Structure 1
Amino acid sequence: MHIKRLTSGWLGSLICLLAGAVIPLSFAPFNFWPAGILAPPILALLLIDQPRGRSWLRSLLFGFGLFGAGASWVYISIHDFGRTPIWLALIMTGLFVGFLALVFSLPFYLFRRWFTPDKTTILIGFPAVWVLGEWLRSWLLTGFPWLYSGYAHIDTWLAGWAPIFGVYGLSLFVVTTGCGIVWLGLQLRGKANQSNHTNIAPPTRLQFAIPAALLVVIWGGGALLEKIEWTHFNDDDKVEIAIIQPNIPLEVKWNPFYRTHILDTLLALSEPHWDADLILWPEAAIPLMYSEADEFLAEVETLAAHHNTALISGIIFDDREQLKYFNSILGLGAASQIYFKQRLVPFGEYVPLEKYLRGLIEFFDLPNSIIHPGPRNQHNLQTADYAVAPYICYEVVYPDLVAANLDSAELMLTISNDAWFGDSIGPLQHFQMAQMRALENGRYMIRGTNTGLSGIISNKGKIETSGSQFVQEAVIGTAYRTHGSTPFSKIRSYPTVIFCFAILLALILRRSWQ
């Protein structure tokens, strides 16, 4: 089919919607990473020489396909656990996906407005806009940093770049790869200078060689960088881990009738593993406020101290003086300190526009939607020999937050309660993001959840051991305290973001000089 026909009318818009919906196939649990390479340049081609209004509509449809296929699992928490009627849950899910699609579309509307879509702009400008769009989604209105293209490449050669440039750098290379492949294909077939709907000039040999060389550098460089050991450990750095996965249904989690049963379950699952160096309980594992849990915490503190075990658990901390509640991680026994979650989940932990929304429907009154954010620059959890960098649930999907809070910690851990998303693909995507954080920072990541997946991830982002979803179990394994640091843990995402802005500035100046 001729490219001009594909870019005309409703057919091109439909292809944008479908191309966006294909991208989630590149992430867990499908892991068909070529889909994430080939879909973005389809959007680039279908924006060429289109009116601004149509360009915006197509990027909006692409975003709706991306988040509709990849993030609509929020329906489960809205309907199943928020007890929202089906019709209203569908509307709210649609509004959520539509808002994300709108945020996704804005950079591409500006891209079409400010840039002439010649071969250079498509090859380097479009990937830069894509990455800046991902970066925008990391902070706008607290952010939703989900479905970044780079996450699909934990196990490809591109993973070698992650300890240097992080997930944004991988996204830049992914989209550049796609644009380079498509552009080379068009040149080889002679389509670039045959199509009368574009102003792309016939390529010279040098122009043909540049994208080919770029692909070799991106993928070959990644393969070589994988061999570098940015961080190191030895046998003395071994830490025996027991991750307790209690699999407590959300329906009974905060019901006082089940409180004793839940506490007994945590202790019974932990009992065979007091010889472990570290026992991890999941997010808000203790179904009591901190001020109400004195007796239980004293019992656990005594058990853990007697066995010289670091027990780390999630608990809701209530500040009675300030009437504030914090989602926190507490160290007991051989561990100490308490950490308060900084990045909160909208509607799940707090309600935006609370005075207008709370009480309208049950979803806006979820039991945890009273949480306050913790302060910045908190201390890591401590044991006698090492520090552990803690992250609660949603925080682990923020690459710069994780790197900024790492400090001198030799281990990382994250706790969560992904039961809110049932048996959808959401928890599997979440686990994959934790893998990327381990790879970026060269640290072992211990992940404990209520219903799964719980597991241990190596400093190379590989899964060392993992449990099963919706199973009550203890996941046993070994982690290592790692020393040294990766470039990313020091410089974070700033160089990649600045580089993308510099590319766009250069293209704007180039256009003004023509």
Structure 2
Amino acid sequence: MRRIFSTNGGGFSSRRSSRQRHPLLGHLMALLAGALTTLTFAPFDLWLLGPLTLAAFLATLQGAGAGRTALRGWLFGVGLFGSGASWVYVSIHTYGNASGVLAAALTLLFIATMALFMLVPALLYRIATPSRLDPLAFAAAWTLGEAFRSWAFTGFPWLFLGSAHVSSPLAPLAPLGGVYLLSFAVALSAGLLYRLIVHHRLWLLAPLAALWALPPLLPTLWATPGGTPVSVALVQGDLPQETKWSDEGRRNAVNTYFRLTRERAADSQLVIWPETALPMLEQQALPYLARVQSTLPADTTLITGIMQRDADGTFYNAVTTLGDQRDEYRKEHLVPFGEYLPLEGLLGPLLDIFNIPMGSVGAGPPDQPPLYANGLELGVAICYEIVYPDLVRQRALNASVLLTVSNDTWFGRSIGPLQHMQMAQLRALENNRYLLRATNNGVTAIVAPDGRITGSIERFEPGVLTGNVQAMTGLTPFTRTGSAPTLGASALLLAAAAVARLRRRQRFGSTL
């Protein structure tokens, strides 16, 4: 084990001659570490592997120059996104109607581009090492790198280290500081583990053990239930995406959702259909929805995802309620290349050449109020929005329950929907809110405020999930403050490590 982690800028040995002869071993180690990190997430859930793979990656950065550090950060990203986001090919080829060759090329381009984000934590760590704060500097650099990835170019907060720990001993950290605090803890564990193995610092066993032993002593629930339980029914139609928007697909959707609602959901106070459950505009769907609502008890509210179009022709991906009170939410954070085209003037003609279809959807306004139904304030996130911790945290500030609707049909039978579900669980835990998740073909689930799934429908089968939820009152520390404290502390730690490195360089005249 010690020889595995004792690479210092090149191969598996710390000797300079070995580094010069075998730099490819370090490159391969970074690539493999990234690929194995995917096993920490759903559906594999080998969360304990995270500190090990990250410690292996950290080993490849020791003594490396800026160029080699950047390359190994990129290779780690290629391994991570190549294995963990391979579902992109399914979305482009199977449902984006691109040829296999073009889909493969675009997927490789996506992986190579996303891997560039891993240069950020690698290079941030380099400017702050070596110093006595090395493990903390690595954790801070990693956390800030994830934050940058969640923001730059609209963000891609997928495969964050902390997302794998919704059920690990670190889970109670989520209500304190969210996914970034979890990622910080995992990266810090990797830094301590590396120094423990390579430098024989046995005293590091104490902080490493404390890092994993103390969180279970913290409270998981900071909010408390209020009011009476509300019965809910989540309807999953499992309709094929390929024919969904055809005339036959529309008829099938209407018949399927009407039948499932009438037979198995009519006794619930809330009936929830998924994103774009009926493949038609709201103006076309309203007569059908009104007919369904008329068959439900007077105190039952039907909620559905629907496409809307304004008078000016702008389309919106929305959620609307039917019943005594009509409310709506329009998706605010859109998916680039899925719902809108970035750099349309530059990329539009290129997509026309390759005959790649592209949606064009407008963004809803910021700070939309929750939906009100049956005494609940529902904070809504449509599909991809649920992966943004601070966006969902803003919804939770004024909501007693979280609601997300999604169409994960685009992922096919890949691991993507299971990763998506895991991130939704973490949003429930971060904010201590029940979370209702209705999807077209899975995973449809009810998540408790502690992140546990209390009920779900298997993927790729129609069904109705019934259960009870309660409004939650009170806010977690994360809901109150968001990610700012964790990111601010990370920035200060990184700055302190950089200053310590500079002082060491001035004192010893090092060529660090």
TM-score normalised by structure 2 residue count: 0.91
Contact 1:334-1:384 at 8 Å conserved across structures: no
Which moves more between the two structures, 484-493 or 290-299?
290-299
Matched, 1:214 2:226: no
What SS does the aligned partner of 1:117 have?
coil
Which moves more between the two structures, 343-352 or 17-26?
343-352
Q: Indicate which of 4, 8, 12 corresponds to 1:6.
A: 12
Structure 1 residue aligned with 2:427: 437
**How much does 1:456 deviate?**
0.3
**How much does 1:111 deviate?**
2.9
Cα distance in structure 2, aligned partners of 1:183 and 1:166: 27
Cα distance in structure 2, aligned partners of 1:241 and 1:312: 11
| 1:295-314 matches, cutoff 5 A | 295-304=287-296, 306-314=297-305
Change (3 A) 1:396 1:181: same
Identify unmatched segments of 5+ residues in structure 1: 189-202
Q: Indicate which of 254, 259, 265 corresponds to 1:268.
A: 259
Structure 2 residue aligned with 1:471: 461
Q: Indicate which of 56, 65, 70 corresponds to 1:42.
A: 56
Structure 2 residue aligned with 1:232: 224
Q: Indicate which of 137, 144, 149 corresponds to 1:132.
A: 144
What SS does the aligned partner of 2:352 have?
coil
**How much does 1:217 deviate?**
3.5
**Equivalent position amino acid for 2:266 in 1:** W
| 1:319-358 matches, cutoff 5 A | 319-320=310-311, 322-334=312-324, 336-358=326-348
Structure 2 residue aligned with 1:223: 216
Change (3 A) 1:511 1:488: same
**How much does 1:150 deviate?**
0.7
What SS does the aligned partner of 2:497 have?
helix
Cα distance in structure 1, aligned partners of 2:220 and 2:24: 49
Cα shift readout 1:380-418 (whole Å, capped 9, x = no counterpart): 100242211111000000000000122321111100000
Contact 1:300-1:332 at 8 Å conserved across structures: no
**How much does 1:421 deviate?**
0.7
Structure 2 residue aligned with 1:145: 157
**Equivalent position amino acid for 1:139 in 2:** W
Contact 2:131-2:497 at 8 Å conserved across structures: no
Structure 2 residue aligned with 1:395: 385
**How much does 1:163 deviate?**
0.4
Contact 1:67-1:97 at 8 Å conserved across structures: yes
**Equivalent position amino acid for 1:258 in 2:** G
Cα distance in structure 2, aligned partners of 1:49 and 1:397: 35
Identify unmatched segments of 5+ residues in structure 2: 14-18, 505-512
Matched, 1:91 2:105: yes
What SS does the aligned partner of 2:250 have?
helix
Structure 1 residue aligned with 2:508: none
**How much does 1:364 deviate?**
3.5
**Equivalent position amino acid for 2:103 in 1:** A
Cα distance in structure 2, aligned partners of 1:294 and 1:223: 49
Change (3 A) 1:42 1:265: same
Change (3 A) 1:93 1:363: farther
Cα distance in structure 2, aligned partners of 1:363 and 1:146: 28
Cα distance in structure 2, aligned partners of 1:405 and 1:60: 34
Structure 1 residue aligned with 2:16: none
Cα distance in structure 2, aligned partners of 1:101 and 1:378: 34
Which moves more between the two structures, 475-484 or 269-278?
475-484
Pairwise CA RMSD of aligned residues? 1.8
Structure 2 residue aligned with 1:450: 440
Cα shift readout 1:58-77 (whole Å, capped 9, x = no counterpart): 11101100110101210001
TM-score normalised by structure 1 residue count: 0.91
Structure 1 residue aligned with 2:183: 171
Matched, 1:280 2:272: yes
Which moves more between the two structures, 404-413 or 294-303?
294-303
Contact 1:23-1:66 at 8 Å conserved across structures: yes
**How much does 1:445 deviate?**
0.4
Cα distance in structure 2, aligned partners of 1:228 and 1:15: 36
Contact 1:335-1:381 at 8 Å conserved across structures: no
What SS does the aligned partner of 2:363 have?
coil
| 1:473-512 matches, cutoff 5 A | 473-512=463-502
**How much does 1:247 deviate?**
0.7
Change (3 A) 1:212 1:345: same
Indicate the percent of aligned positions where both proteins have the same amino acid.
39
Change (3 A) 1:41 1:363: farther
Contact 1:237-1:482 at 8 Å conserved across structures: no
Cα shift readout 1:65-122 (whole Å, capped 9, x = no counterpart): 011010121000101111211111111001101111011113312432x23324522x
| 1:412-423 matches, cutoff 5 A | 412-423=402-413
What SS does the aligned partner of 1:42 have?
helix
Cα distance in structure 1, aligned partners of 2:266 and 2:184: 45
**Equivalent position amino acid for 1:276 in 2:** S
**How much does 1:511 deviate?**
2.8
Change (3 A) 1:470 1:384: closer
